[in-house]
Structure 1
Amino acid sequence: MAKAKILMSQPIHEEGTKYITSRGYEARVAPDFTEATLIKEIQDAHGFLVRTAEIPASVINAGKVLKAIGRHGVGYDNIDVKAATARKIPVCITPRANALSVAEHVLALMLALAKRIIPFDAATRRNEWEIRNSYSAFDLDGKTLGILGMGRIGMLVCQKARAAFNMKVLAYDPLVPKEAMEKAGAQVGAIPEILKASDFVTLHVPSMPETKGMIGESQLKMMKRSAYLINCARGPIVDEAALVKALKDGTIAGAGLDVFDPEPPKADNPLFTLPSVVLSPHSAGLTVECVIRMATHAAQAIIDVLEGRRPEGVVNPEALE
């Protein structure tokens, strides 16, 4: 009997591939992730492990024997979940895989901005030693951190910021019980009051129509002129043009960004010219430990479905009914 096939839209860490084959399944990586190629490759696949490729209904519907989709990460805005649900195909994310890595990255961006790591490094390499007397770096200890979105990542950021830097944390999340946020050490508030009071504001909400542009010109104007915005969630959550304007005008002091709109950003993106910004290429969740967790957890979810078990992280539970 032929092995059931699990198709991967893009390569995953070898530990993920080993996980699949060690359990008796065929692991196949698509030659590329264009729509036409995926439509061809998915036709005999029982499972589909997706990274960042766009997966429209046309691809899902081409999977004649497709039973499960595993997302290599937690964002699933690149997958047509409605089409999968119509076919009774569960879409599973990896909720435990990237929270720690992304939370650490948030703190890294905060430290880089507070300690002026990027400009100090550049000046030191130019032998501009006197920059040390600019006294422009500052401590995180005792500062106020606003967290919009208190899911797994937001909770970890809250706990780590309090434990490492004695930060006061203000939090907002309409989907998380107030008691749970307070138990994590956060003071719960509304978005406007959080923006006005925070020295750093970090975003941890999903990308959806309701959150598109939730941080725009009016929200940026609520922030302190000395405040910094951190976004390691999704690019469309922030109105990028409004952010550029706010940074140029001095409406806020700076930003740390791991995500953009679109991705990859265009070569002439004005953010690239701003010295008050620290950037990374949507890599917060791409530590070696994290990519192994994402690959193996996504594979496990697919295998759970194929073997009749309820998988973790199903975003469309109605597909299992």
Structure 2
Amino acid sequence: MKKHVVLYKKLSPGLMARLHAQAEVTLIDKLDSDGLTRLRDALPSAQGLLGASLRLDAELLDLAPNLEAVASVSVGIDNYDVDYLSQRNILLSNTPDVLTETTADTGFALILATARRVVELANLVRTGQWKQNIGPMHFGSDVHGKTLGIIGMGRIGEALAQRGHFGFGMPVIYHSHSVKPAVHKRFNAQHRSLPQLLEQADFICLTLPLTAETEGLIGAREFALMRPESIFINISRGKVVDEAALIEALRQGQIRAAGLDVFEREPLEHDSPLLQLNNVVATPHIGSATHETREAMARCAVDNLLAALAGERPLNVVNGEVWDRRRATMCT
């Protein structure tokens, strides 16, 4: 008998056909009030869940007593109560690797756009205000040769370092829990304490996950350590930053500009002060948003889920202790 999968994300026809061939599928194509009601109704018989951008807390999970596996179409896991999933012996998988390069591209696009004031000056042309040669008041700043500071040297941090070091001749400094010898060797990158990085970097880029430890990591004290010519980039999660402190730092000229793909609340409110600042480039959480990468992420999630439901180890397991317990049971 096919296992029941509740899908709360639209997939390509090919992936939908694959899921239907191997599982009984309930599709919730929109997470509005009606969709959430349908989701709750489907959870009691669900053995697998696949989707993204939905907070799966204990209240929802308690509606799914038969649940075996959750496959997230994302690398971040802040929408999931991992401890509770593990207590319930439910496998959680995610989709790292396939979005690394695309997200790093987004980060570097924000670096270039903020440094060269691309959005601001493009709007000058678009609105008919370009009446004479551009003068110093509209000059940007160079990227090549500037110091790139990366907070969180994981896969995406390394991909960003690669672009900066090899493409733009940027000295790379980074802050992470541990020194990364391979990063030192490949990019001549130097480890720094967080205050040292904030004081020394021209471009300060966040590429770390949202956890209890990193929430609110960058606030007023950290912005005060940055230099007036510093440019701040966030492609991690909005809640890593105290947004009110960021707005104040931009208004007071503590930093030159910010390139932001993530925010404390998403979608960003239309009256957010960030949208009134010319030195902010704001994009709608597009880090992995290309046709190729989103399809690869969905394919990876389908692979993970079908493997888990077949009693096999998914390629990308978040809570490996659950798999270890299952394997021990299978071996006895």
Task: Tell me the TM-score normalized by structure 2.
Answer: 0.91
Which residue is equivalent to 2:303?
Answer: 300
Which residue is equivalent to 2:26?
Answer: 28
Contact residue 228 and residue 254 of structure 1 kept, 8 A = yes
Hey, what's the Cα distance between the residues in 2 that align with 1:57 and 1:238? 26
Contact residue 46 and residue 66 of structure 1 kept, 8 A = yes
The match for 2:240 among 223, 230, 237 is 237
- Are 2:321 and 1:318 aligned? yes
Hey, what's the Cα distance between the residues in 1 that align with 2:82 and 2:38? 20
- Are 2:244 and 1:220 aligned? no
The match for 1:203 among 197, 203, 206 is 206
Deviation, 1:11, is 2.1
- Are 2:163 and 1:167 aligned? no
Contact residue 10 and residue 29 of structure 2 kept, 8 A = no
Question: Secondary structure of 1:132's partner?
Answer: coil
Hey, what's the Cα distance between the residues in 2 that align with 1:183 and 1:169? 12
Deviation, 1:131, is 5.3
Question: Secondary structure of 1:62's partner?
Answer: coil
Structure 1 247/300 Cα, relative in aligned 2: closer, same or farther at 3 Å?
same
Which residue is equivalent to 1:62?
Answer: 63
Deviation, 1:314, is 1.6
The match for 1:279 among 264, 278, 282 is 282
Hey, what's the Cα distance between the residues in 1 that align with 2:211 and 2:287? 20
The one-letter amino acid paired with 1:48 is L
Could you list the structure 1 runs, at least 4 aligned residues long, displaced by more than 4 angstroms after superposition: none
Structure 1 306/256 Cα, relative in aligned 2: closer, same or farther at 3 Å?
same
Indicate the RMSD between aligned Cα atoms, in angstroms: 1.7
The one-letter amino acid paired with 2:15 is G
The match for 2:268 among 238, 252, 265 is 265
Hey, what's the Cα distance between the residues in 2 that align with 1:27 and 1:164? 45
Structure 1 14/169 Cα, relative in aligned 2: closer, same or farther at 3 Å?
farther
Which residue is equivalent to 2:3?
Answer: 4
Hey, what's the Cα distance between the residues in 1 that align with 2:321 and 2:149? 34
Hey, what's the Cα distance between the residues in 1 that align with 2:196 and 2:38? 49
Deviation, 1:211, is 0.6
Which residue is equivalent to 1:130?
Answer: 132
Hey, what's the Cα distance between the residues in 1 that align with 2:18 and 2:173? 41
Hey, what's the Cα distance between the residues in 1 that align with 2:12 and 2:227? 42
Equivalenced residue count is 318
Contact residue 117 and residue 279 of structure 2 kept, 8 A = no
Deviation, 1:163, is 1.4
Q: Using the aligned pairs only, state the percent identity.
A: 33
Provide, for residues 180-215 of structure 1, a one-character-per-residue CA deviation record: whole Å limited to 9, x for no partner: 221331111111111111110000111111111111
After TM superposition, the structure 1 = structure 2 runs for residues 122-161 of structure 1, keeping only pairs within 5 Å, are: 122-125=123-126, 126-130=128-132, 132-134=134-136, 136-161=139-164
After TM superposition, the structure 1 = structure 2 runs for residues 50-129 of structure 1, keeping only pairs within 5 Å, are: 50-125=51-126, 126-129=128-131
Task: Tell me the TM-score normalized by structure 1.
Answer: 0.94
Structure 1 46/248 Cα, relative in aligned 2: closer, same or farther at 3 Å?
same
Contact residue 49 and residue 69 of structure 2 kept, 8 A = yes
